[in-house]
Amino acid sequence: MLKSCSACELPFIRSSEHDTSLICIPCTRINQDIELTALDEAHMALAQHLQNTLEQTQTDDSPLKKELEVATKKIKSLERKIKTLTKKTKTTPKSQIPADLLKTLIFLVHPDKHDNSPAATEATQFLLSLRK
C-alpha cells in the first residue's frame, strides 16, 4: 500500500507487509549518512512524479473529476425520468376512463344486479379503486 514518507512527504511503497518503516529508502539512507546512488535519485524523481500526478487528480480541472461530474448529472437526470415514469404508470389507469363512463360501468357491474356473484364484486371493487 502507498504510504507518505514522514521525512520528505513523497509517496513510497513498503517492501513487504512486515515492513513498518515510516520513511522512504532514500530518506533512510540520508538519515544513516549513506551517499545516495543513481537508483535513489531515480526513486525520488519517480516519487515526485507520482506525487504530482496524484495532486493533479484532486484538482478541479482534472479530466477524471469532470467525467465524474458528467456521470453524476446523467444519473440524477435518469433518476428524475424514472420517478416521472413511475408516477405516470401509477396514474394512467385512473385517467384513461372518463369519470362518467366509470360511473356507468360501476352501475352495470354492481353485485346487486348479478346475484352477488364474486366476479361482479371483484369487478366493482376494481372499478371503485379507479375513482379519484
For residues 1 to 20, the per-residue mask of contacts with Zn ion, x marking binding by CB under 5 A and - elsewhere, is ----x-xx------------
Strand ranges, E, within 30-119: none
Residue 5 C-beta: closest distance to Zn ion, Å: 3
**H helix or E strand, kind and range, residue 49:** helix 38-57
- Reported as type and span, the H/E element at residue 3 is strand 2-4
- Examine residue 24 and tell whether it contacts Zn ion (CB under 5 A): yes
Residue 25 sits in the site that holds Zn ion (CB under 5 A): no
Residue that is written with C-alpha cell 363512463 in the block: 101
Stretch (H or E) spanning 2? strand 2-4
Q: Does 27 bind Zn ion (CB under 5 A)?
A: yes
Q: Please, are residues 99 and 91 in contact by the beta-carbon 8 Å criterion? A: no
Pick the closer one to Zn ion by CB: 24 or 127. 24
Minimum CB distance to Zn ion smaller for 47 or for 123: 47
* Residue 27 CB, nearest approach to Zn ion (Å): 3
User: Which residues, in sequence order, are bridge partners of residue 2?
Assistant: 13
Number of amino acids touching Zn ion (CB under 5 A)? 5
The footprint of Zn ion (CB under 5 A) covers 5, 7-8, 24, 27
